[in-house]
Structure 1
Amino acid sequence: MRIAVIGVGRIGRIHAENLRALPEVEEVVLADVVPEVARSVADQLQVSAADDLSSLLASGLDGCVIASSTSAHAEQLETVMRAGVPAFCEKPVARDLAGAVTLAELERETGVPVQVGFQRRFDAGYRRVRDAVVGGELGTVHLLRAVTHDQAPPPAAYLAASGGIFRDCSIHDLDVVRFVTGQEAVTVSAAGGNKGERLFVEADDVDTAAAILTMADGTLVLLSATRYNGAGHDVRLEVTGSLGALAVGLDQSLALDSAEPGVTLTHGPRHWSFLDRFLPAYAAELEAFVAMIGGAASPCTVRDALQAQRLAEACDLSRRRGAPVRLQEIPDTR
């Protein structure tokens, strides 16, 4: 297979390295908005480089990984899909909901396979919990608690273009809640606050947020996110059912200390960013992408990504309104 990676920043480089390690991939070709950067990274990784996406598509590709800046995703994904090339695209597929709707409809019309980069679907813990829910091991599921607590805020320039904490951070939880439960949310109620740096207010964002989701079958989901968790990067999912309970992220890296006398919860190194927390999942999702090119079904379609984006929109709208929002208020495909 000959696969391109568009955008060679931090995540693009990781994707290129993971692709290079797969036996099915014969050639990896890099491109970037700054061609000199693509050539430099290509030299370091001992892979090929091209000047732009157009020349790559003209030269023949089996697949294309889009890891460029968020603002470029929609245009690049549409170009790749219209060329009939299977695509992997980092989230979000578009900066706004209307763009995501358009791409989901294009996916349906063209039939071109697309995988969206929600890497938690490939994490061993999340997959274990999903299997337990689907297999009935936990009985009737009553409650989920989803946590994404960053150790420190991202740069101000990133925040300004991120779309806000629900669209940028919590969207991973929103996607994986759908993945684990197999259910869609019908209502959300959200809130947010700022007790940190002024840069959040300047970005029309919040540094900490919470939401309650009511799923179609009545399951409740409690979601929290913060940019300030000094103990480390904390990503967890707890699922409580009538026959048992399971937790993702409850291991020796847990960024949480116990107040109980004589109790120590953490015995190993903690994670400090999403990259080291999900490094194995990033490799697994590229294996799945190669399998999709070979004919397997997409493990996360554009329509899946759209549903997570709709939830993020609903959460942000609820936070701003100070009132619950029904998902039927948020546009979907026809």
Structure 2
Amino acid sequence: MTLLGLVGVGRIGAFHARTLHGLPDVEVVVADVQSGRAEELAATLGTRWAPDIGSLLRTDLDALVVATSTGSHAELIERGVAAGIPVFCEKPVAENSAKTLEVIKSVDKYGGRVQIGFQRRFDAGYVAARAEVRAGALGRVHTLRAQTCDPVPPPAGYIATSGGIFRDCSVHDFDAIRWVTGREVASVFASGSDRGAPFFAEFGDADTAAAVLRLEDDALATVTATRYHGAGYAVTLDVAGTQGSIGAGYDDGLPVRPVGVPGPDPDPDLNPHTDSGGGSGAAWPKGPAYAGFMDRFHQAYIDELQAFVCFAEGRIENPCPVGDALEALYVAEACDVSRAENRPVTIAEVRR
């Protein structure tokens, strides 16, 4: 039996706790700064809870899962590796690259084993895209197009501490591009706009952003993000090469409305996301549109935690080391500089 501690039982933490509780030969103990929340979740699951992180780490754990707010990630990772146990932590490792490097030094000092939560590495579409690219099925990859679109913006309090749209949102695309292609990002040119709620500008953030990435082999990638995609939550990745082109994320939950497609009018009751006028519209996507990231990546989150258990037990290599999270963060920080100064920025400029 593998005993896992989980700290942080908000939305994603509670989901992780249920996932871990449902795995064979796994027992989970939960904790939260609001001990009542941990006690309530434990009662629902029929598992144990600890009143604080200190008590949790004294429970003879085999591994630790961190699903707290960003500001506590670094400390909890360091406490976990100091206790000699593998740690899974939701991204980011820390608020910035300087602090992330400090965490990496602590991980190295203790010989720690830390997996960071970039769940797209476990999504079926991204996994298949990586396999095709790595096998050379597309020939020379020259263009990638990635998007992450939230249907509605988070509250102002979240934006105040999120680190900005590139670090909070597009960083997943930056990691996915590196992971799928096996190439590093050499430089970026980024921009953003603020036409939504005033708190975006108040906190120096953008509600819509775009970046052009030049990879080390001169392939180009575009990454776009917005907090105002009212049709639903949309995440896709297109990869084009000299011999083929593929796309990840194009399933029936994608909030897109095809127009100008020849064919019979679809039944709007069955397919509300497809144009039903003028004899146009294909029967795809059938919908309903994804409401958020928990819908879109539901299975990926489960597979990610299953992989962590295997990693913690020493059965697989680390699916997402801390160093990979740092590289994606460098790209995000370069985008912040580029947006602020309206110029191309190399990753070497922000690398520490």
Q: TM over 0.5: same fold?
A: yes
* Residue aligning to 1:21: 22
Deviation at 1:197, TM superposition (A): 1.3
Q: How many residues align?
A: 331
The structure whose RCO (Cα within 8 Å, separation 6+) is larger is: 1
* Residue aligning to 2:92: 92
* Residue aligning to 1:285: 304
Cα RMSD (Å): 1.0
The answer as to 2:139 corresponding to 1:139 is: yes
Inter-partner Cα distance in structure 2 for 1:222 and 1:36: 44
Contact 2:255 2:287 in 1 (8 A): no
* Residue aligning to 1:329: 349
* Residue aligning to 1:121: 121
* Residue aligning to 1:195: 195
The answer as to 2:229 corresponding to 1:229 is: yes
| 1:231-270 alignment runs, 5 A limit | 231-260=231-260, 262-264=280-282, 265-270=284-289
Inter-partner Cα distance in structure 2 for 1:157 and 1:221: 31
Deviation at 1:111, TM superposition (A): 2.3
Structure 2: any 5+ residue segments left out of the alignment? 262-279
Inter-partner Cα distance in structure 2 for 1:31 and 1:207: 34
Secondary structure (helix, strand or coil) at the match of 1:30 reads strand
| 1:45-84 alignment runs, 5 A limit | 45-84=45-84
Q: Which moved more, 1:263-272 or 1:216-225?
A: 263-272
Secondary structure (helix, strand or coil) at the match of 2:58 reads helix
Inter-partner Cα distance in structure 1 for 2:188 and 2:240: 20
The answer as to 2:327 corresponding to 1:307 is: yes
Deviation at 1:107, TM superposition (A): 2.5
Q: Which moved more, 1:55-64 or 1:273-282?
A: 55-64
Q: Which moved more, 1:16-25 or 1:251-260?
A: 251-260
Inter-partner Cα distance in structure 2 for 1:20 and 1:79: 23
- Please give the per-residue CA displacement for 1:254-310, whole angstroms capped at 9, x wherever unaligned: 211123151233222110100110000000000100000111211001111111111
- Please give the per-residue CA displacement for 1:140-164, whole angstroms capped at 9, x wherever unaligned: 1010000001111111111111010
Inter-partner Cα distance in structure 1 for 2:256 and 2:132: 25
Secondary structure (helix, strand or coil) at the match of 1:13 reads helix
* Residue aligning to 2:337: 317
Moved over 4 A (4+): none
Inter-partner Cα distance in structure 1 for 2:351 and 2:48: 41
- Please give the per-residue CA displacement for 1:113-138, whole angstroms capped at 9, x wherever unaligned: 11100000000000000000000111
Inter-partner Cα distance in structure 2 for 1:65 and 1:21: 15
* Residue aligning to 2:266: none
TM-score (normalizing by structure 2): 0.92
